[in-house]
Structure 1
Amino acid sequence: MNVRRDLHPILLFCVAVLALSLNVDARTGLARDAAAAPSPNGEVSPEDTDSHVNKPGTNHSVLWSELGLFLALLGMLAYVVNVRITRSLKEEKKAVKTSTVGGSSPKIDSPVKEVKQQQEQEQEVGRQSGLVFFVREEEQFKLENLLDAGADMQNQNYCSSLYKVQLNNNGVYAVKRLKKLQESYDDFDRTMTMVGKLNHPNIIPLVAYSCQGDEKLLIYKYQKKGSLLSLMERYIEGKRDFPWKLRLSMAVGIARGLDHIYRSFEGSETIPHGNIKLSNILLDENHEALISEYGYSNFLDPKSVCLFSNNGYTAPERCLSEQGDVFSFGVILLELLTGKIVEKSGLDLPKWVKAMVREEWTGEVFDKEIAKVGMYAFPLLNVSLKCVAHFPENRPGIGEVLEKIMEVCNAQEDFSCSSSVESSSQDGHALYSVAEEN
């Protein structure tokens, strides 16, 4: 309590007034004694005797006036002390009430809340400096460093430009400059913050973003292994191998990344990808699939060429949704199985594959590398055709797709020659029925 500390000056003042009063009384008494003292010759003057005899009430009146003054001062002090004590008690009671939860125990911030507050403060500092980071402090840099560094343009279209930037700290980054976006600063900031907090080995992490008026930048670590598109192009040109196991690994990685995206936003606003294609699947150092270009498709104008372009990956309903991403993923699965590239040719691959299956030329669908594994690829082809069903309600969810692909991975070791031959006709009928239904 602070009452004791507040009373110290009051008590000192009270003692000072009391001492002053006693000093005045003492001086008055001394004056009276001096007046009544005998003369040096031992005689008392008649005037003095008469004066004291004639003013018997003088001493009493002085004492009563001093006593009244002292009592008045004492009453004032008592009032001030009472006001101070009451005020202090009210303040302490209010402080205790606001610092308790349910009127019982003090409210203590949890470590998680403290970390969250620290992250929000760091992000606020980043917004003021032009960049909001999602990496450790030692990996961060200033916007001026980024703008002053040399940049090599990698790709450009109507809606964005992609640059390879080498910073002085030997860090190499891919910087995406966005154009033609329709959104407010708050919407962009909220969405990119959600995307930046995603953490999955099959989603390329967002290093930072910048939103300065119409200038919006997304910054990633540069992936020198390239994309799935470049890998397939080199394979078609005969410059590298692309075995079945690596293709199956790519399918699993992409499905896992998409599944993580949709599970992360359960119960809240879902952010579809909207642009799944070979060039947006990057490769890390271990040739693991990394989903890129995620988080901003819903800011693009649906009427512009940036969204729902006729690139062969867009679902017939042309809308941003999980079913739309499943369709695009199904096209990638067909590309992995057939060895045909849709992105630059504009080939309607689902239509071609369904026609081949309908004519019972299913074996001619597979690429020469896939043909080496025999019947192992048929279950994956069946999953692909379900993903590219014409109507979205006939497509499976991405979680179900991942489950089916994992069954293909786990079942390979159990396949035998007899079971493969037996499953050939069964899978062929299943594929035929899927193609007829859609």
Structure 2
Amino acid sequence: MASIGIVGAGTAGLHLGLKLLSHGVPVTLYAEQDPAKLRAGRLPNTVAHHSPTRAHERELDVDHWGGPQADMHHMGIHVNAGPQSFGMKGRLEKSSIFVDYRLYQPKLAEDFVARGGRLEVLPVDAAALESLSRKHDLVVVATGRNGLTSLFPRIPELSPHTKPARLLFAALLKGVRMEEPVGMNAHLVPGHGEIFEAQVISRHGRVPSILIEALPEGELAVLSTQRYDEDPRAFEALLMDRLRRFAPATYERVNPAEFGVLGPMDWIQGAFTPVVRRGWAPLANGRFVMAVGDTHVTNDPVAGQGANAASASAFALAASILDALGTERPFDEAFCRAAGERMWVAVAPATHWTNALLQPPPPHVVDVLVAGSQEPRVADAIANAFMIPENILGACATPEAAAAFVARNRPPARESAPEALAWRPLPEDVATKVAEVR
């Protein structure tokens, strides 16, 4: 039986490995750290897993954290733009979930080993990759560490960013009363960026979290450039001030006497440039390697699609590998090209949606959000579409598509809200102003 080597034990590598194992394919996973070290490490992110990824997890039998105290069924979207501020809250038909990756990835690595996979803790650079390619029929790179992303060239026409679009700060918090039932809030702050509040399943149970997506020139950027550990109390006071000014729906649940970062390892700062790379690369020895997940496509977290795209990428590549094994097709350049195209089809909507959110919204998109603030059924439709890139891209593609989306999701005339509350597009001058300042 052919064997597959996977370098990197993040979501893409783990989902790919578990999927192949479920079909009886021998897999070796090469990880930078063992599970125990991961559990004790710094918060890596605050990612959401939406319904398509959760379906993958149920298929892989790794949905270990779902349940009434974890599943997220509500999403609020608030446009905090001074006198033009408005907000909406929608209910999700299919729940999302946030799990601390210091729980998630070690547990899935242990599942992988328990099901017959081989896990080796081994840093892999380009030279080691050549050696591994001789041990396996195919090697897949699921990490950017040790310079491995340089093997996969950037595709300029799919990569509009040449520098970070946002500066990032994320943390688990204390002193914030969590909404019930479980939900999240997205605060869109024109001219400054975005603030996302959620609830994460951690080793402490369910706790509040924050993700700051700061425009480099805005007043949120200091949360990504001023180090938390240099003066934690001063940083927490600064964070609380920014929540008060730019995320009032979250700030109203803050207890100032208790507010702060949950623990010394429960925060992270950084920035990176979104990029789409070619999904395969030749090695000097004539073999080929594939890229998967973030190694193939790196998205900004603003759309909450990073882990979901990684899982979609992994499942698409697994399907290509299983097809090739079933037909005894070699893992040659032709295979790599076809598999790369299949992965891109799977993740392109997430990339397009993410890149759209990094730009000022056109007036017709503002109109859709205004409609959601005035009609609960439209708010529900927006919240559900927001989680599935294909759906939200279609809803916001053109002014005509946006108007049709709102009309389709408004209640029948006899159930409509009173005239004073009935949906009307935001006046053109106001909609344009909200869009321009973003």
The interval holding the TM-score normalised by the smaller chain is: under 0.3
Q: Which has the higher contact order (CA 8 A, sep 6+)?
A: 2
Query: Larger Rg: 1 or 2?
Result: 1
TM-score by length of structure 1 reads 0.22
TM-score by length of structure 2 reads 0.22
